[in-house]
A = this chain, B = another copy of it.
Amino acid sequence: MTKTIGILTSGGDCAGLNAVIRAVVHRAAHYGWTVLGIRDGTMGLLDRPMRYETLDVTKVDGTVMRLGGTILGTTNKGNPFAFPMPDRSTKDRSDEIIEAVRELKLDAVIGIGGDGSFAILRRLATQGGFNLVGIPKTIDNDIGLTEVAVGFDTAVSVATEALDRLQPTAASHARVMVLEVMGRDAGHIALHAGIAGGADVILLPEIPYDLDVVAKKILDLRAGGRNSALIIVSEAVRTLEGKMVKVEHHGGARRYGGIGQYLGEAISQATGAETRVTVLGHVQRGSPPSAQDRLVATAFGVHAVDLVADGKFDRMVAWSNRRVVDVPIADAIARYQAVDLESDLVKTARALGICLGDR
């Protein structure tokens, strides 16, 4: 029996979304199903006329899987349960989306998102009685029950490359280079890129840091004959008192002067070192997807369509021990995945003498 699947990308963009979309379309074509690509997350279902297009194999051939971003568009605004209205009030517009799903006669919706998007989509699916399959994507890799999410490997690669590019300047000028990377409340990018990129200091939100410990590391390196250092820091870190320090946002524009900037100045004062700060920003998101991200994205896309074929819904595809599996979306949302302080990567960092900011 032929089916019609809706697919949408939701939340912050990342590398590999287009590879997921391509895989879904190719796998659905195998079943002879129709795929409707919904524009701009759930916004395409809120607007009237609705905004979507039929995706066939020829539309996603060739370069699409190799490109960053999402050909469908995405948004991280517009929670339909509390939609921002012009008068700054919010309105529950969930019924409009449910109505749209019915009108399009979608046998299933495949949502590519993070935990925030999944929470909203799942509430919509439950309320509207439609079938949902989730595919995890986030550069932050903080979604539970899956080892990796689409976009993480590329973000790590870009952050590592940044350290590779900062190292020569650090060494040539005898400077301390501070690199601030993304990751929201999780330190996965900083930890992975920090080890891969040869950082001397890695600061994560999972490990409250002591500025004195960081300063001592810089001074120890100097005593050992090295006047330069590489520091990688998550955009959110935690002080010894347990306070989370984050980058501020003002209006639509990201405000610089976050933790990276603070660290650069504080270390300069504490050690006399010349410091330079780089805030890597959105180049971590939009880069072309790595081979690994495209592999995961492709396997996820195929498995998501197979779940629809098997009538298994309310599940998220996941990567576990080199296999593609699926788990209840609710469980994935419930298990926030912070950096495991007992993991081999953390142990490796400590074993190498990398400073993690704690005593």
Chain A residues in the interface with B (C-beta under 8 A): 9, 12-13, 17, 22-23, 26-27, 29-30, 40, 57-58, 61-63, 65-70, 73-76, 147, 153, 156-162, 164-174, 177, 192-193, 195-198, 224-226, 250-257, 261, 264-265, 268-269, 273-283, 285-288, 290-292, 294-295, 298-299, 302-303, 306, 321-324, 343-345, 347-348, 351-353
Contact = CB atoms under 8 A, between A and B. Distances in A.
Nearest to A251: B268
Contacts of A66: 164, 167, 198
B166 A196 contact: no
Contacts of A171: 62, 69, 73
13 contacts: A30-B353, A76-B173, A147-B322, A156-B291, A157-B292, A166-B282, A166-B283, A169-B285, A252-B276, A254-B264, A257-B257, A290-B290, A302-B347
B294 A196 contact: yes
Contacts of A195: 294-295, 298-299
A169 B186 CA distance: 21
A30 B351 contact: yes
Q: Copies per complex?
A: 4
A343 B159 CA distance: 31
A15 B84 CA distance: 45
A162 B280 CA distance: 10
A192 B147 contact: no
